A and B are shown apart, each in its own frame.
Chain A
Amino acid sequence: MRRAGLVGAISATGLALLLPLALTQPYLQHLLVASVINGILAVSLGIVIGFLGELSLAHGAFYGIGAYTSALLAKNFGVPFFLALPAGTLGAALTGFLIGIPALRLSGHYFAIATLGFQGIVILLITNLVEITRGPMGLSGIPAPGGINLFGGGISFQTKTGFYCLSLAVLLVTLWFTYNLMRSKFGQGFIAIREDPLLAASVGIRTKRYRLLAFCVSAAFAGAAGSLYAHYTLFISPDSFNLGESVYIATMVIIGGMGTISGPLVGAVLLTTLPEMLRVAGGLQFVLYGLIAMIVVIFMPKGIVGMAALYLRGQRDARIPAPGTTPGE
């Protein structure tokens, strides 16, 4: 079972690496990069929504903190990208810690509202500390990362394909860390807390610490995504990190499937590429996203990935009924 998962992961990675060769138009390659960055955002938010069972509306803020931290360090202090990225990640994690300590005292609706408030405060601060962030005018002239020499050849990160590989690497690290975390005692703790916080506490799980940990990890990855975004588009402004962005990422997680690691990734890829696939634009894609998300929440809370898993399990059960068991058990 685990071997199958590993094989699947490696093949998927291989496939992903080959995609830029097939999709050569710049716009499609741009979509690849965008899908990966959104993937990192969705998977990281998925930790909070799926495994802690809470809706955080502050993810856009962490995304933005990562972006601005990384961009400002690179632009004003000449920090190379490979240090700016971790700096952005840390900055977001720290913000997650500061916001998490008060916010996680609450849960359910109150927690969501508190994150809404913090999201607003962060964006207002970014917008208004104009001397530092250039506010609504945005920060331009962000240096792009150079490139690396790998196995004798070089990859330039200043091409879309090169940056895609870079982002893919970050996504893979995110997925790997998340997967390990969820299989570890920490992931088990998160699930226990989500299912029954009182029972979890009664077996010694330090609910407060764990929730804070999950929140910070989630924020950290969002910060990494922010750094990638900043050094890709080379221009950032507060509008990209506002409440609308938080909601957009949450929608990806909902549609793709909460409670799994691959679900949010599927949701991210889908929502990023859907406008292109269906040739919809002009706001119509949000109509679709909202509609699908509502349907998912009401009818299929496990999202697309959940439905697929159920379908596959049903197929398998139909084909091979084990002796003595009831089919579909």
Chain B
Amino acid sequence: MDILAVSNVSKYYGGLAANSEVTCRIREGEIVSLIGPNGAGKTTLFNLISGMEKTDCGTIEYAGRDIGGMEPPEIARLGLVRTFQQTKIFRDVKVKEAVMIGRHIHDRTGFLGALLSSRSARSERRSGSEKVSEILTFLGMSFQAESVARNLAYGDQKLLGIAISLGVEPKLLLLDEPAAGLNIQESARLMEIIRKIRDKGITIGLVEHNMKLVMDISDRVLVLNYGKLIAEGTPGQVRKDPGVIEAYLGKSGNA
């Protein structure tokens, strides 16, 4: 069952095609990676899917629904959540508060209830806290619950970004370069975590440059170059694809 179907999507900036007639799909329960040289249009595609930018043509369907014109908060509320390339976290709050913000949409308190601090408002807050602890435990971050986000080590901050998006209870999680800047141990830990997330039933899309991570963890790999989808298949297939090799190594064989 396709959880995401991208059909003929294009996005132009000025005369330049950042994405050109991209068609691809992600099946439920998969881990799909999107790779390509710098500037290939990977983050643009994520931006289009998550609603931060509007397509110039083509459709994007999530769980069978056309999400083309929707605003990012609405798309997130449907269960499609993305993280950001630049580590985005709520810097000045504690880790547990940041994840609590991620859980925002699950707090059903109404405006009047909030104004009057009704019993339901308070119980919503309590159950939210429990869920937050679960997420932190799941990611091995419980001991950092009280730390202020800006004080975390870089690798932990990236993990916090993932924790925040898990708060939303996504069905499809798009991770934008989660391994950027991570060392070998941190990358290994990330791989573990991505697998654990998938095991919980969450479909995962990744934009990544770390090839070892991509090849080890992905069920399928999509390759973009100059805005076009040039290859698609299992890691093994894509690794051997001549078009892909050329895209990365260049015609004259420069790395």
Scan B81-111; emit 1 where CB is below 8 A from any A CB, else 0: 1111000111111000100111011010101
Total number of residue pairs linking A and B with CB closer than 8 Å = 99
Task: Indicate if the CB atoms of B84 and A198 lie closer than 8 Å.
Answer: yes
B105 to chain A, nearest CB (A): 4
Across the interface, A202 reaches (CB within 8 A) one of B50, B100, B117, B125, namely: B50
Across the interface, B104 reaches (CB within 8 A) one of A177, A185, A213, namely: A185
Task: Indicate if the CB atoms of A203 and B116 lie closer than 8 Å.
Answer: no
Across the interface, A205 reaches (CB within 8 A) one of B104, B115, B125, namely: B104
- For B107, list chain A residues within 8 Å (CB): 185
Task: Indicate if the CB atoms of A189 and B84 lie closer than 8 Å.
Answer: no
Q: Which residues of B, 98-136, contact A by the 8 Å Cβ criterion?
A: 100-102, 104-105, 107, 109, 111, 113-117, 121, 124-125
Instruction: Write the chain B residue with the least CB distance to A217.
Output: B115
Task: Indicate if the CB atoms of A204 and B76 lie closer than 8 Å.
Answer: yes
Task: Indicate if the CB atoms of B111 and A213 lie closer than 8 Å.
Answer: yes
Q: Answer yes or no: A286 CB below 8 A from chain B CBs.
A: no
- For A202, list chain B residues within 8 Å (CB): 50, 72-73, 76, 81-84, 88, 165
**Size of the chain B interface, CB-CB below 8 angstroms:** 39
Known: A181-B115, A192-B90. A207 touches B73 (CB 8 A): yes
Task: Indicate if the CB atoms of A180 and B73 lie closer than 8 Å.
Answer: no
Scan A199-223; emit 1 where CB is below 8 A from any B CB, else 0: 1111111110000010000000000
Q: Answer yes or no: A196 CB below 8 A from chain B CBs.
A: yes
Task: Indicate if the CB atoms of B84 and A199 lie closer than 8 Å.
Answer: yes
Instruction: Report the bound CA distance from A188 to B121 in whole Å.
Output: 13
- For A207, list chain B residues within 8 Å (CB): 73
B114 to chain A, nearest CB (A): 3
Task: Indicate if the CB atoms of B90 and A180 lie closer than 8 Å.
Answer: no
Q: Answer yes or no: A186 CB below 8 A from chain B CBs.
A: yes
Task: Indicate if the CB atoms of A191 and B114 lie closer than 8 Å.
Answer: no
Scan B137-165; emit 1 where CB is below 8 A from any A CB, else 0: 00000000000000000000000000011
Known: A200-B101, A202-B50, A202-B76. A185 touches B90 (CB 8 A): no
- For A181, list chain B residues within 8 Å (CB): 114-115
Q: Which residues of A does B touch, CB under 8 Å?
A: 177, 180-181, 183-189, 191-192, 195-196, 198-207, 213
| 8 closest residue pairs by CB, A with B | A184-B114, A204-B76, A180-B117, A185-B107, A204-B105, A201-B72, A204-B77, A199-B88
Extra inter-chain contacts (7) besides given A195-B92, A203-B165, A207-B73, CB under 8 Å: A184-B113, A185-B107, A192-B104, A202-B83, A203-B101, A203-B164, A206-B71
